[in-house]
Amino acid sequence: MLVSILSLGLLLGVTGGDTTKPFVFSHADVPPSFPDLDRYIDAHLLYPPGFSEICWEGRVWVFFTIAADGCTADEYTDPKHSPTGTAGKAIVQAAIKFIQQMPAWKPGELEGKPVRTIVCMPLKFGVRE
């Protein structure tokens, strides 16, 4: 499973205008990780209820932050590269909900300390045999 730490520069900024939150880093000495990520995705990523018959196949790229405590936050997708229409919106919502419900990750580290790190994860939807 390809999971990339975005390379948009060292500092992406403060989240939501809240200056009490730490910066979000696009680079970490040790990137965030999730044990058995492929297995977790296979077991938990599902088509949204009522839409499995559409058989849409493709990837939804979800961007999110791994907080210093390992929790996910700030999930979003790029509308230019996401499925459209009613079914497409349901699939995007399912992808975001999947990320929101994930157990904690091992956070990224910078200079030996856990930091908030932005991640991009392509989630592949397809017909399973």
Predicted confidence (pLDDT) per residue in 96-106, tens digit: 999 999 999 99
- Report the candidate in 63, 102, 65 with the shortest Cα–Cα distance to residue 82: 63
Predicted confidence (pLDDT) per residue in 63-86, tens digit: 999 999 999 999 999 888 888 887
Pair type for strands 4-5 and 113-125: antiparallel
Residue 119 is part of a domain; what is its CATH number? 3.30.2420.10
124, pLDDT greater than 80: yes
Domain carrying residue 101: 4-125
pLDDT score for 20: 44
User: Does 19 or 120 have the greater pLDDT score?
Assistant: 120
CA distance 51 to 76: 21
Name the token pair of 110: 């910078």
CA distance 48 to 38: 19
Predicted confidence (pLDDT) per residue in 11-64, tens digit: 333 333 344 455 666 677 888 999 999 999 989 998 887 776 666 778 899 999
Tell me how many domains the chain contains: 1
